[in-house]
Amino acid sequence: MKMTTLGHAPIGHVVTSTLQGIRNRVVADDRSGSVADYIPELSLANPDWCAVALVSVEGHPYVAGDAAQPLTLQSISKPFVYALALADLGLERVASRVGSEPSGEAFNAISLEPGTGRPANPMINAGAMMATSLVRASNAAERFERIRQCLSAFAGHSLSVDEAVFASEMETGDRNRALAYLMRSAGALQGSVNECVEVYFRQCAVSVTTRDLAVMAATLANGGVNPVTGIDVVGDRIAGHVLSVMATCGMYDFSGEWLLQVGLPAKSGVSGGIIAVSPGQFGIGVFGPRLDRHGNSVRGTNMLRELSSRFDLHLMHRSPQSGPVVYRATTAAASPSHRTRPGEERDALQTDAGRIAILAAQGEIEFAAAERLLWTIEHSLEARPEGRALRPQPEAQWLVLDLRRVTRLHPAATHMLDAHLTHLLAHDVFIAIVQPDERLLLPAAGEFDNCDDAVAWCEDALLVARR
Ligand code: GLU
């Protein structure tokens, strides 16, 4: 008999066919916008190119359309170079040189703080050139090489410059030069304007594919660790910081509307690429050279809008955690162990076994799950089995907390549980924790490998307490 294997292909097919459908729809429906021509070489792009790629934080890639077609990074280089400057100098020193406020203006606006010349944020050209100048190096060549290596680490392979695009912007990029001179005259930009602008134009001209864009975005989604190579490129603190700035400033003067409609941190570039990040889940790259009046890819924007709604990715539309944190809540009255005890003990336990609450928790417990767990603990201690007041004060109670299926306790959750269990222990609640290897350090009266032993221990203690 022929067996069907359930391997990677069918899963890939499900996601890829959705991407394909979204891509085909925008290709059929949308021919609006125009290709950037203020950098002459960019105007040679085929306006019909259209691609979408998605890479999960496990490194699984899904692509549709012209995902292998090279494009230059342009402004998409900005968040990554900003990340490198942050890694070199730290948050505070970088913040003193470039802000993190949305300017609400076009990418090439003269948006400098009056007096200091400090640019509003690193996603507009002035702020991006500032970030470039902050990358640690002893000369321009070394600075660009460090930037190229950083961009390559985000993409997971060695990237190079499209020399024609670079030369084209070198010839025509007077507005950026003017911006750099303005910053220098205000004392904000240090060092040579020519060197700074040249390195910036080079980083903009680094050639990638839409697939690369998705891997770069997935690295930000994955706390700064490239999910394909496993290399920690910038660490999760910097990745989180960069994503926050992308969320408020990444889409030029369309950033507010973008957050409403798509709800993902993103960065676009005038070559027609956009990266978008679903933190902890996916990186997405899209490409379509026709731009709208803000300078954002029209097809790219439409594909991301649809992807966000199809896959429910909007950051502000988070529904409550799907699985319950407590999967079993009962009392020792329902436990089989006391039925095997001698008659007198059994009778005593039958009356009082409700004083032993048993809770089993599961999954990754972060702040919200911990909050629910604490409420469940509270309710279970107040339970009134068989209509009888459970806790004629000051009688003791017992709590069996089964944590065998907990995969991770976040620091905030550890802190909350620690404080609450300590409080309970001080108020006549004896806590028995069930976990095989004591990997979670929590206050308890007893630690057990399995639930039956924990319940038996509580029952013994209860029988002693009744005497
Ligand atoms: N190199 C381009 C410039 O500075 C990048 C602009 C962009 O992609 O928004 O004009």
The number of the ligand 1 atom at minimal distance from the alpha carbon of 204 is 1
- For residue 128, the CA-to-ligand 1 centroid distance in Å is 10
Residue 421 pLDDT level (bands cut at 50, 70, 90): very high
Residue nearest to atom 4 of ligand 1 (CA): 125
pLDDT value at position 320? 64
The number of the ligand 1 atom at minimal distance from the alpha carbon of 173 is 10
- Probe residue for ligand 1, chosen from 71, 75, 132 as the CB with the greatest number of ligand atoms within 8 Å: 75
3 state SS for the chain: CCCCCCCHHHHHHHHHHHHHHHHHHHHHHCCCCEECCCCHHHHHCCCCCCEEEEEECCCCEEEEECCCCCEECHHHHHHHHHHHHHHHHCHHHHHCCCCCCCCCCCCCCCCECCCCCCECCCCCHHHHHHHHHHCCCCCHHHHHHHHHHHHHHHHCCCCCECHHHHHHHHHHCHHHHHHHHHHHHCCCCCCCHHHHHHHHHHHHCEEECHHHHHHHHHHHHCCCECCCCCCECCCHHHHHHHHHHHHHHCCHHHHHHHHHHCCCCEEECCCCEEEEEECCCEEEEEECCEECCCCCEHHHHHHHHHHHHHCCCCCCCCCCCCCCCEEEEEEHHHCCHHHHCCHHHHHHHHHHHHHEEEEEEEEEECHHHHHHHHHHHHHHHCCCHHHCCCCCCCCCEEEEEEEEEEEEECHHHHHHHHHHHHHHHCCCEEEEEECCCCCCCCCCCEEECCHHHHHHHHHHHHHHHHC
pLDDT value at position 340? 77
CB 75 within 8 A of CB 107: yes
Whether the link from the prior residue into 394 is cis, omega within 30° of 0, is yes
pLDDT value at position 322? 62
395 pLDDT above the threshold of 90: no
Q: How far apart are CA 362 and CA 369, in angstroms?
A: 10
pLDDT value at position 112? 85
Residue 317 pLDDT level (bands cut at 50, 70, 90): confident
- Probe residue for ligand 1, chosen from 41, 125, 293 as the CB with the greatest number of ligand atoms within 8 Å: 125
13 pLDDT above the threshold of 90: no
Provide the percentage of residues in the chain whose pLDDT is more than 90. Answer: 71
Q: How far apart are CA 226 and CA 210, in angstroms?
A: 16
pLDDT value at position 307? 93
pLDDT value at position 389? 44
- For residue 125, the CA-to-ligand 1 centroid distance in Å is 7
- For residue 341, the CA-to-ligand 1 centroid distance in Å is 78
pLDDT value at position 382? 65
Average pLDDT, the chain: 90
pLDDT value at position 368? 84
Q: What is the pTM of this model?
A: 0.83
Stretch among 77-91, 227-241, 419-433 having the lowest mean pLDDT: 419-433
Token couple for 130: 């500032």
Residue 326 pLDDT level (bands cut at 50, 70, 90): very high
393 pLDDT above the threshold of 50: no
Residue nearest to atom 6 of ligand 1 (CA): 75
Q: Which residues are catalytic?
A: 75, 78, 200, 252, 270
Candidates 299, 337, 350, 300; CA nearest to 466 is: 350
Q: How far apart are CA 389 and CA 206, in angstroms?
A: 72
Residue nearest to atom 2 of ligand 1 (CA): 74
pLDDT value at position 349? 82
- Probe residue for ligand 1, chosen from 174, 249, 270, 292 as the CB with the greatest number of ligand atoms within 8 Å: 270
Q: Considering only residues 111 and 25, tell me which one the structure prediction assigns the higher pLDDT.
A: 25
- For residue 174, the CA-to-ligand 1 centroid distance in Å is 12
CB 96 within 8 A of CB 122: no
The number of the ligand 1 atom at minimal distance from the alpha carbon of 295 is 9
Q: How far apart are CA 174 and CA 191, in angstroms?
A: 18
Token couple for 121: 């944020």
pLDDT value at position 7? 43
Tens of pLDDT, residue by residue over 25-43, are 999 988 999 999 999 999 9
4 pLDDT above the threshold of 70: no
- Probe residue for ligand 1, chosen from 39, 73, 196 as the CB with the greatest number of ligand atoms within 8 Å: 39
Q: How far apart are CA 186 and CA 114, in angstroms?
A: 9
CB 235 within 8 A of CB 87: yes
Mean pLDDT of all residues in 429-439 = 88
pLDDT value at position 323? 73
- Within 6 A (CB) of ligand 1 lie 74-75, 107-108, 125, 169, 176, 204, 269-270, 295
The number of the ligand 1 atom at minimal distance from the alpha carbon of 175 is 10
pLDDT value at position 253? 85
- For residue 430, the CA-to-ligand 1 centroid distance in Å is 64
- Amino acid identity of residue 411, one-letter, is P
Provide the percentage of residues in the chain whose pLDDT is more than 70. Answer: 93
- For residue 181, the CA-to-ligand 1 centroid distance in Å is 17
Residue 5 pLDDT level (bands cut at 50, 70, 90): very low
Mean pLDDT of all residues in 19-27 = 96
Q: How far apart are CA 157 and CA 212, in angstroms?
A: 9
Tens of pLDDT, residue by residue over 48-84, are 999 999 999 999 999 999 999 999 999 999 999 999 9
Q: How far apart are CA 376 and CA 389, in angstroms?
A: 18
106 pLDDT above the threshold of 80: no
1 pLDDT above the threshold of 60: no
8 pLDDT above the threshold of 70: no
pLDDT value at position 114? 86
Mean pLDDT of all residues in 240-245 = 97
Cβ neighbour number for residue 272 with a 10 Å cutoff: 31
- For residue 54, the CA-to-ligand 1 centroid distance in Å is 24
